[in-house]
Amino acid sequence: MLSENKTRVLIMTAVDAERDAVLRGLGERGDKFDVKSNTGLPESGDRIEFEVELAGVGPALAAARTARALARGRYSLVVSAGIGGGFVERAEVGTLVMASEIVAADLGAETPDGYLSVDELGFGASRIAVESGLAKAWADKLVEQGWTVCSGPILTVSTVTGSAETAFDRAARVVGAAAEGMEGYGVAAAAHDVGVPALEIRSVSNPVGPRDRAAWRIKDALTALEAAFSNFPEVLR
């Protein structure tokens, strides 16, 4: 007989439209979902409960809100999710990006010799590892469903890239940079601080580069985000 253990997964999005897309994707399956095998984090016999919360925009508020949510109890996994910018020739608009690592891309210092990350300054870590088995399983599942998924570093920035120069600098700083968003590192830092594994997924609404807000394809990106979460419970089984 299955036990009544519960696996709690916390999903953080910046804004309401992203949270709604995630909830549409998860549908009614939330805590009615039994885990029968042990391929992901949950124990066999666990029931999975999803909680989707607003992180707000930017890494500071995202970290504060994630820490507050995590203080409510025991969680198995935290996911930072939302739309994002895709690096050209890595992730096109309308596709999905699964983080291979979560990178604070502007947490450091400018020097006459170039940018130094917090790691190089000796003040901490600019990169947070993801739960790689789950990231791969989720990406594989989405590819199987016909989605284009790029797995690579997702950069967290406090200032959205708005020029080709900044896009070039950021891509050069992080080998394989696939996407950027504004919350991932904050969410993951709060999770890491209490020993909870993290993931980040972005659906690409715009290219990283010269600002053209009117051209952001938000609806397409929200559709892709919804699809990503409609496949997520299966991945956790």
Is residue 201 within the footprint of ligand LNDFFVEH (CB under 6 A)? Answer: no
Is residue 79 within the footprint of ligand LNDFFVEH (CB under 6 A)? Answer: no
Is residue 67 within the footprint of ligand LNDFFVEH (CB under 6 A)? Answer: no
Q: How many helices (H) and strands (E) does the chain have?
A: 8, 10
Q: What angle do CA 1, 237, 31 make, to 5 degrees?
A: 75
Q: Are 145 and 25 in contact (CB under 8 A)?
A: no
Cβ 202 to ligand LNDFFVEH, closest distance in Å? 8
Cβ 6 to ligand LNDFFVEH, closest distance in Å? 29
First CA to last CA distance, the chain: 16
Of 22-61, binders to ligand LNDFFVEH (CB under 6 A) are 57
Is residue 157 within the footprint of ligand LNDFFVEH (CB under 6 A)? Answer: yes
Cβ 220 to ligand LNDFFVEH, closest distance in Å? 11
| Pair of tokens at residue 213 | 């807000």
The tokens 């009614």 sit on which residue? 28
Task: Kindly list the distances between the CA atom of residue 29 and the CA atoms of 26, 95, 119, 229, 233, in Å, as whole numbers in the listed order.
Answer: 6, 24, 41, 11, 8
Is residue 128 within the footprint of ligand LNDFFVEH (CB under 6 A)? Answer: no
Give the total of residues touching ligand LNDFFVEH (CB under 6 A). Answer: 20
Which CB atom, from 18 or from 46, has the smaller least distance to ligand LNDFFVEH?
18
Is residue 218 within the footprint of ligand LNDFFVEH (CB under 6 A)? Answer: yes
| Single-letter amino acid, residue 162 | G
The helix (H) or strand (E) run that includes residue 174 is none
Paired with 206 in beta bridges are 85
Residues that bind ligand LNDFFVEH (CB under 6 A): 14-15, 17-18, 57, 82-85, 157, 160-161, 180-183, 205-206, 208, 218
